[in-house]
C-alpha cells in the first residue's frame, strides 16, 4: 500500500463572532485541509490549523512547506509512521501544524485500513461520547459574564476563561463571570502567556477562594523558572501550553517541576504519533494532560476528540473547536457537540463520511505519483 495522491484545500471561513485571546484575534479562519489517498483507494483527511503566534505558520507558508514535504511522501507506506515522521523532521524543522495535517490524514487512512475508529486505535479508554469545557473568549467584563451564564445554562460545568489583558481588568472580568454563574462551575483560567510573574501572583491572591481548576500558561512560554516559582506559591495547579511543543520541552518542564499538567495540541506536537509519545512521557512522570486545539474546523476537533477518547492520561478536554464557524466543512460524520459532550460519529478512522465540497472549493494544489 502506498500514498499515491494528496490534495490541498484553503477555504476562507467566516465566524459568527471573533475569537480573542491575549495572543491574537481571529475574525476569519483560513485553514489548510489535506486529503490523502492510497493506491488501494483509501482516503484520509487532515487539517493544518495555522497560527503565526503559536507555531509560526501562515496558510501560505504551510502550503509552501507541504509542497516540499509531500513529494517525499508519495510512494511511502502509510503504516510506516515512524519513518514518515523521521523523514519530515530530517527535511525541515518546526512547521508542526503542517506536519500534523499530514499525520492526521495518514491516521485516518490507517483506521480505515484496519477497520477501527481512531479512538479505539489509541487505546479505547473512554467512549465515543466525552465531556468537554467551552471557552469564554477575551472581551469586556460584562459580555464575558453574560456569555459564561449562557454556557452554564446550556449544561457546561467547566468553562475555560481567556484572560491575559491588563490585570485589574482581568480580575474584574473573572469576578463578573463568577457572579453570573453557579458556584458549582469549575473555571480553567488561560492567560496565553499574557501576565508577568508579578501579575500572575497578584491574580492568584485576588482569586484564592475561587473554583479554579488550574491556571493555564500564565507566563511567557520560555519562562520555565517563573512557572516553577508560581507553581510553588499558587494554591491552583499550573498547566503548561505554549511552554511545551514537543518531547524536549515536556521533559524540561517535568524535570523543573514547572507544571502540574500539560496541554497537548496536535498542531503543536506534529500530530497523533508524537502526541502519543508526549502523553506517555507525561504519564510516566505522573503529569496529567489536556487535549486542546487552536481555531480550526471540525476536522481537527474530531481528531482531538478521538485522541481524548482513546488515551487514559488525557484527563481534561477542551473540544469546542469549530463551533463559531458559520460553515461546516464536514457534511456528514466526524463529531459534534451535544450539550457539554463532544460526540464522535460511527465509522472507521476519523469517521468523516462526507465533506462539503461547495465550501471546500477546488484543490489549490494536487500531488500524484
Residues classed as catalytic: 162, 265
Using DSSP, how many helices (H) and how many strands (E) does the chain show? Answer: 13, 19
Query: Which residues, 6 or more positions from 181, have their beta carbon under 8 angstroms from its beta carbon?
Result: 145, 148, 149, 152, 159
Q: Which of 324, 336, 352 is nearest to 34 (CA)?
A: 352
Q: Which of 338, 327, 335 is nearest to 352 (CA)?
A: 335
- Where are the alpha helices (H) located in the chain, listed in sequence order? 59-73, 81-91, 96-113, 118-121, 141-153, 167-180, 197-206, 224-233, 247-256, 266-269, 272-284, 298-310, 357-360
> Three-state DSSP class for 142?
helix
> Three-state DSSP class for 156?
coil
Torsion, Cα 337 338 344 345, to 10 degrees, reads -110
What is d(CA 186, CA 160) in angstroms, rounded to the nearest whole number?
Answer: 9
Q: Which of 217, 267, 258, 278 is nearest to 95 (CA)?
A: 267
Name the grid cell of 29.
Answer: 479562519
Cell 481548576, residue? 213
Amino acid at each position: 500500500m502506498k500514498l499515491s495522491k494528496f490534495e490541498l484545500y484553503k477555504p476562507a471561513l467566516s465566524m459568527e463572532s471573533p475569537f480573542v485571546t491575549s495572543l491574537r484575534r481571529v475574525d476569519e479562519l483560513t485553514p489548510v485541509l489535506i486529503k490523502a489517498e492510497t493506491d488501494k483507494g483509501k482516503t484520509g483527511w487532515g487539517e493544518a490549523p495555522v497560527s503565526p503566534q503559536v507555531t509560526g505558520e501562515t496558510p501560505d507558508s504551510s502550503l509552501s512547506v507541504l509542497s516540499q514535504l509531500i513529494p517525499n511522501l508519495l510512494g511511502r507506506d502509510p503504516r510506516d509512521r515512524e519513518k514518515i515522521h523521521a523523514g519530515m523532521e530530517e527535511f525541515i524543522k518546526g512547521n508542526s501544524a503542517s506536519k500534523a495535517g499530514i499525520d492526521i490524514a495518514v491516521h485516518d487512512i490507517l483506521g480505515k485500513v484496519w477497520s477501527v475508529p481512531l479512538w479505539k486505535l489509541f487505546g479505547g479508554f473512554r467512549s465515543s461520547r466525552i465531556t468537554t469545557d467551552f471557552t469564554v473568549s477575551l472581551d469586556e467584563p460584562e459580555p464575558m459574564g453574560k456569555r459564561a451564564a449562557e454556557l452554564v445554562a446550556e449544561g457546561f460545568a467547566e468553562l475555560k476563561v481567556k484572560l491575559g489583558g491588563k490585570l485589574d481588568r482581568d480580575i474584574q472580568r473573572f469576578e463578573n463571570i463568577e457572579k453570573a454563574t453557579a458556584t458549582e462551575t469549575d473555571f480553567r483560567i488561560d492567560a496565553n502567556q499574557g501576565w508577568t510573574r508579578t501579575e500572575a501572583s497578584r491574580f492568584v491572591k485576588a482569586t484564592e477562594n475561587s473554583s479554579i481548576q488550574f491556571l493555564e500558561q500564565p507566563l511567557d512560554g520560555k519562562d520555565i523558572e517563573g512557572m516553577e516559582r508560581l507553581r510553588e506559591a499558587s494554591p491552583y495547579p499550573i498547566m503548561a501550553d505554549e511552554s511545551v511543543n514537543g518531547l524536549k520541552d515536556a521533559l524540561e518542564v517535568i524535570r523543573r517541576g514547572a507544571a502540574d499538567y500539560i496541554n497537548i495540541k496536535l498542531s503543536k506536537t506534529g500530530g497523533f504519533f508524537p502526541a502519543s509519545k508526549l502523553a506517555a512521557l507525561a504519564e510516566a512522570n505522573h503529569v496529567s494532560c489536556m487535549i486542546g486545539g487552536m481555531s480550526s474546523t471540525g476536522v481537527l476537533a474530531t481528531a482531538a476528540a478521538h485522541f481524548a477518547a482513546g488515551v487514559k492520561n488525557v484527563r481534561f478536554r477542551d473540544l469546542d473547536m469549530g463551533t463559531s464557524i458559520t460553515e461546516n466543512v464536514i457534511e456528514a460524520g466526524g463529531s459534534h457537540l451535544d450539550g457539554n459532550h463532544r460526540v464522535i460519529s460511527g465509522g472507521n478512522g476519523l469517521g468523516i463520511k462526507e465533506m462539503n465540497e461547495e465550501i471546500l472549493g477546488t484543490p489549490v494544489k494536487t500531488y500524484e505519483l
